[in-house]
Amino acid sequence: MKPTLCNASTNGIGHAGEYGKIGFSPCGEYVSHESDKPCNPLPVNEGLIDKDDCHCKEALCPCGEFLSHKVSDPCTAKISKPESQPEVESYGEISLATNLFSEKEIDGLYEIINAREPEINTELGRLEFSLPLDIIKTKTVEKLQNVVKQVTDVPLEIRSVTYVEYNSLYGSPNLPPHLDADVNDLILNIQIESNTDWALGLDLKAYKMEDNSALIFNPNKQIHWRVHKEFKDGEYVRMLFIRLFNPESPSDYSHLDVLQDHEMFKEAREFRDSYPQV
């Protein structure tokens, strides 16, 4: 946890930088600044206390966000390595995003996931539960929103976040061809982690999923399904579904709420049945 007062003194009294602020040490001999932002040499400041009574010294502050140095010397800022950003490729109405989250962000998601009480859906062979958007870190949400902006110009907002784990512990994982029949115009179908392959079908094509990647599509226009697969003991596929809608002009796909043996799914069913089982 970051200290309330962050300074360069091992005794915690030097005030080379009060946490969250940029400024001089009390003696005026040292200046603090954000670690990621180098600063130019500054004129020596008139100290508030005598230098001999000031215990500040050149060091990285305990919070790791501030660096101090003598005001007359140039500093070499501790520049953080820029975090890699997701890569998004679009193929008509379907997009693929890779390298979605950093390890730290994935760990943060698992902290939230592990604290939730799951529900078991034996029909689909998975456990599942919703994640309130306000408990997901802002930086993670912003990253997802930036991915969406690369896919569409429509002002979509996240409507729901759902975590699922497919596993034979919860039944026989199975996802026949279907449409969601709701108000959402886009879904980020994110594979967080898996220890087996299980291709995701969109209309008449199957896509191999990779960890930390997402297939992005309209779940009410692209018929989606999973290939037939018999899960072995210990195999799992962990997913995060981010559903988005247009609050300014919500869509209504309720007319698509039909049985899975409906004629509209016939071609997808036949394609799925002909696809090699894994």
Domains of the chain (ranges; CATH) run 1-80 (no CATH), 87-274 (2.60.120.620)
Query: Has residue 14 got a pLDDT over 50?
Result: no
Dig out the tokens for 237 from the structure.
């596929």
Angle of helix 138-151 relative to helix 103-114, nearest 10 degrees, comes to: 110
Residue 3 confidence (pLDDT): 47
Residue 5 has pLDDT above 90, yes or no: no
Phi/psi for 222 (5° steps) reads: -95, 115
More confident residue, 24 or 189: 189
Question: Cα–Cα distance between 6 and 9 in angstroms, integer?
Answer: 9
Tell me: pLDDT of 227 over 70: yes
Q: What does each C-alpha distance from 234 to 101, 126, 195, 210 come to in angstroms? A: 25, 13, 9, 18
Q: Of 75, 55, 54, 66, give the one whose Cα is nearest residue 3.
A: 66
Single pTM value for the model: 0.72
Q: Is the pLDDT of residue 140 over 50?
A: yes
Please give the pLDDT value at position 31: 76
| pLDDT in the model for residue 122 | 96
DSSP track, 87-123:
EEEEETTEEEEES-S-HHHHHHHHHHHHTS--EEETT
The confidence score (pLDDT) of residue 43 equals 73
Residues 48-97: pLDDT tens digits?
667 666 656 555 555 566 677 777 787 777 656 667 789 999 999 999 99
Range 242-263 average pLDDT: 96
Task: Please give the Cα distance from 135 to 206 (Å, whole number).
Answer: 33
Contacts (Cβ under 8 Å, ≥6 apart) of 155? 246, 247, 248
State residue 262's pLDDT score.
96
% of the chain residues with pLDDT over 70: 80
Lowest mean pLDDT among 104-118, 183-197, 230-244: 104-118
* Residue 145: predicted pLDDT: 95
Q: Answer yes or no: are the C-beta atoms of 242 and 188 closer than 8 Å.
A: yes
Radius of gyration of the chain (CA): 26
DSSP the chain: ---SS--S-TTS---SS-TT---B-TTSSEEEEETTS-----PPPPPSS-GGG----S-B-TTSSEEEEETTS-----PPPPPP--EEEEETTEEEEES-S-HHHHHHHHHHHHTS--EEETTTTEEEEE--GGGS-HHHHHHHHHHHHHH-SS--EEEEEEEEEEEGGGS-----SB---SS-SEEEEEEEEESS--PEEETTEEE---TTEEEEE-TTTS-EEE----PPTT-EEEEEEEEEE-TTS----GGG---TTSGGGHHHHHHHHHSPP-
Count of beta carbons in the 10 Å neighbourhood of residue 259 = 7
pLDDT for the residue 217: 98
Kindly report, residue by residue over 96-124, the tens digit of the pLDDT: 999 999 998 999 999 999 999 999 999 99
pLDDT of amino acid 267: 97
Residue 25, pLDDT score: 72
Question: Where is mean pLDDT largest: 25-29, 36-40, 42-46, 182-186?
Answer: 182-186
- The overall average pLDDT reported for the chain is 86
Range from 57-66, 71-80, 161-170, 201-210 carrying the lowest mean pLDDT: 57-66
Determine the length of the chain. Answer: 278
Cα dihedral 114→120→126→128 (10° resolution) = -50
